[in-house]
């Protein structure tokens, strides 16, 4: 079982400032927790509603899991892990950056996509939702283990420093299907509501778009940013396979 | 304001059986509600926390919106709409089907993707989450207006009746990048946890996969079903643009 102080701490870890102050974060779900443990991420506490999940896991009742979970439908496993130190920027050939993504599910999905398409890092503007938010961790489905998220103070500056062309995704750029997508480049995905920030727009070497295929008058406005990232990464990599 | 009975009804509409019994569903969010109204879907009640949203909207306080919203962070607008009658199957050239999708966000995103790629219908197995679930409606971002979801008793039978080849997406099929994807065909996406059901597997003319690009030992297990659908629909349509 957990103490009252442990319960309070776990619930507080929903907020970034408490994660930073305690150097801890919460992961929920068997698969994610297993991936973190197997990758050697040090944990502080493990709780499970199922026996034999892990020798160090405390067996707790479903009703007690509900009291510490950050989800309406809790998973059978919750772990509190040490927040890793910031990693060095590797500067891979292709850089993916997100600018002001606020939905945890979208960021987690984008992290999972970067992993699938063989990347190791993701640039995030300072106002992007924190990658150690419990909901991002869950949506990333364990991929947080392999993707370093670099939160940079000034995304424009950081991308310019990489010294390669910068492309933005928007709704009125050149079609990704007819544009030669450069391997050595940075690609920025803007926020769900506001797109790419203005200071970054000035630095772009081009804008690219996913065309839509509906020929009626009423048209869908835009794609979800995570599905747009999926389509873009597929298009960028399809010839490498 | 709303009456106590109205509040109870709205909250009950979270469940499919109450939606069917009352022939009503709930949509939340300005954009979605606007799209439904503009498409001429008859509404029963409209509530807004902002003035001048719509002449028939009842202005309510944020705290009262919280009491009827199906979300932890309510939108400024909630509408109760009439459930439409079942539509006829159009039998488009390309058919997309989902088999046992349980996550409302995933189904909503897939509906939005079908809309983007110019389709008008989606086949759903009977155990797929209901498309009029408030969370599906929100994730579909208004696309529910243009996509008819056909919930069929026997997905295998219904697809066989369409009299065209049936392909399933899996993790060990032929690469979508090197396979000729037929336009006139049905494509099935399986559930997040269990993939395509066994009875359907026997009827498939082929299995196709999105290859992954990570060359380390530890690999991501699978893509989220909505992002897989995004990549697949892009690949199927990229040459039509």
Domain covering B4-82, topology: 60s Ribosomal Protein L30; Chain: A; (3.30.1330)
For the ranges A69-73, A126-130, B15-19, B133-137, which has the lowest average pLDDT?
A69-73
What's the pLDDT score for residue B195? 86
The one-character DSSP state at B28 is: E
User: Residues B156, B89: contact at Cβ < 8 Å?
Assistant: no
Query: One digit per residue, pLDDT tens: chain A, 241 residues?
Result: 899 999 999 999 999 999 999 999 999 999 899 999 999 999 999 999 999 999 999 999 999 999 999 998 899 999 999 999 989 999 899 999 999 999 999 999 999 999 999 999 999 999 999 999 999 999 998 899 999 999 999 999 999 999 999 999 998 899 999 999 999 999 999 987 888 999 999 999 999 999 999 876 667 778 899 999 999 999 999 988 6
Pair of tokens at residue A91: 């500067």
Q: How far apart are CA B206 and CA B13, in angstroms?
A: 40
What are the residue ranges of CATH 3.40.1280.10 in chain B? 94-240
**Which residues of A lie closer than 8 Å to B, measured between beta carbons?**
31, 38-39, 105, 109, 112-113, 115-118, 139, 141-143, 145-146, 175, 177-178, 210-216, 218, 220-221, 223-224, 226-228, 230-231, 234-235, 237-241
Pair of tokens at residue B87: 């539509």
What's the pLDDT score for residue A192? 79
Q: How far is A221 from chain B (nearest CA, A)?
A: 9
pTM: predicted TM-score of the whole model, two decimal places: 0.94
* Whole-Å CA distances, B90 to A138, B121, B130: 38, 8, 20
Cβ neighbors of A105 (< 8 A, separation 6 or more) are: A135, A136, A139, A226, B105
What are the residue ranges of CATH 3.30.1330.30 in chain B? 4-82
Q: Is the pLDDT of residue B14 over 70?
A: yes
CATH classification of A94-240 is 3.40.1280.10, yes or no? yes
**Is A212–B38 a contact, with Cβ atoms under 8 angstroms apart?**
no
Q: How far apart are CA B142 and CA B154, in angstroms?
A: 28
What's the pLDDT score for residue A216? 67
- pLDDT tens by residue, B82-127: 999 989 999 899 999 999 999 999 999 999 999 999 999 999 999 9
Mean pLDDT value of segment B54-66: 96
Q: How far is B232 from chain A (nearest CA, A)?
A: 8
Torsion, CA B44, CA B47, CA B52, CA B53, rounded to 10: -70
**Which residues of B lie closer than 8 Å to A, measured between beta carbons?**
31, 38-39, 105, 109, 112-113, 115-118, 139, 141-143, 145-146, 175, 177-178, 210-216, 218, 220-221, 223-224, 226-228, 230-231, 234-235, 237-241
Sign of the alpha-carbon torsion through A103, A210, B137, A72:
negative
Q: How far apart are CA B222 and CA B226, in angstroms?
A: 12
Q: Choose, out of B234, B239, B240, the residue to mutate when testing the contact with A (most A CBs < 10 Å).
A: B234
């Amino acid at each position: 079982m957990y103490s009252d102080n442990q319960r309070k701490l776990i619930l507080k870890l929903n907020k970034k400032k408490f994660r930073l102050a305690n150097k801890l974060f919460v992961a929920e779900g068997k698969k994610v927790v297993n991936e973190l443990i197997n990758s050697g991420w040090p944990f502080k506490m493990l709780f499970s509603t199922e026996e034999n999940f892990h020798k160090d896991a405390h067996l707790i009742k479903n009703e007690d899991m509900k009291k510490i979970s950050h989800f309406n439908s809790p998973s059978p496993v919750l772990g509190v892990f040490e927040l890793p130190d910031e990693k060095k920027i590797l500067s891979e050939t292709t850089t993916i950056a997100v600018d002001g993504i606020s939905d945890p599910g979208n960021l987690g999905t984008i992290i999972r996509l970067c992993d699938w398409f063989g990347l190791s890092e993701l640039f995030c503007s300072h106002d992007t939702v924190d990658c150690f938010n419990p909901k991002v961790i869950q949506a990333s489905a364990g991929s947080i283990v392999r993707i370093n998220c670099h939160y940079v103070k000034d995304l424009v500056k950081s991308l310019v420093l990489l010294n390669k062309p910068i492309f933005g995704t928007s709704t009125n750029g050149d079609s990704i299907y007819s544009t030669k997508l450069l391997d050595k480049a940075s690609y920025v995905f803007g926020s769900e509501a506001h797109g790419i920030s203005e200071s970054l727009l000035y630095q772009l070497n081009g804008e690219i778009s996913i065309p839509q295929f509906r020929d009626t008058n009423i048209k869908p406005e835009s794609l979800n940013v995570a599905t747009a990232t999926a389509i873009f990464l597929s298009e960028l990599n399809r010839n490498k396979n």
